[in-house]
Amino acid sequence: MGNLAALVLRLALGGLMAGHGSQKAFGWFNGPGLEGTSGFMEMLGLRPGRPWAALAALSEFGGGVLTLLGLLNPLGPLGVIGSMSIATSKAHWGKPIWVTEGGPELPVTNIAAATALMFSGPGKYSLDRAFGIRLPGWLAPLGLVAVLITVLYTGFGAPAPPQEEDEAREELAGEED
C-alpha cells in the first residue's frame, strides 16, 4: 500500500507543480510566462527578477516533472521544497495561514508532501525503480541546507513599497547631516 500511496502523492504533487511551473516558464494555463514572473520577482524584492523567475520556473516545472515520474529522487521534491519555501517566505509571510487570507497554507502543504516523498522515496511504481537509479543519501540533507541558505539570503516578507523605501532613505540622509 505504501508504494501505491507514493504513486498517488507523486502524481498529484508532481503534476500540479509541473503545471504551476509551466505557467511561470511558458505562460501555459493563463500563466504570466517568464517576463511576467520576472516582474513579480522584482516586486517581491528578488532582484534582478529574471534569474529568480528562471529559478522558480525550473524548480517548479522541473521539480514537478521529476516528482511526477519518480525520477532522480530526491531532486524533484527538493525543487518543490525550494520554490515553495521562497513562496512562503517572500509572498505569504506575515499573513494568516489560510490561503483565503493570502497565507501560506498551500505552499506549506506542498512542502510537507514533497518532504514526505523525499524521505520515503518515490516507491516501486517509479522510473528510479524501473531503471535501478539510486542517488546518494547525502543529497537530501545537502539540498535542504541549500534551500535554507537561499531562504535566509532572500529574507522574509515582501519589501516595503518603493515610496516607503524612498522615505526611509531620506530619513537616513537627514540623520547623517
pLDDT digits (tens, 9 = 90+) for 80-133: 999 999 999 999 999 999 999 999 999 999 999 999 999 999 999 999 999 999
Looking at the chain, the whole-number percentage of residues with pLDDT higher than 90 is: 88
177 SS3 class? coil
159 in helix, strand or coil?
A: coil
Instruction: Name the residue type at position 76.
Output: G
pLDDT higher at 41 or 173 = 41
**pLDDT attached to residue 164:** 53
Q: How many other β-carbons are positioned within 10 Å of the β-carbon of residue 15?
A: 14
pTM of the model: 0.89
Does residue 136 surpass a pLDDT of 60?
yes
What percent of the chain has pLDDT above 70? 90
* pLDDT, mean of residues 64-82: 98
Average pLDDT over residues 44-61: 97
pLDDT at residue 158, rounded to an integer = 79
| 149: containing domain | 2-176
Residue 156 CB contacts under 8 Å (≥ 6 apart), including other chains: 89, 90, 93, 94
Once rounded to an integer, what is the mean pLDDT over residues 45-55? 97
pLDDT at residue number 36: 97
Total domains present in the chain: 1
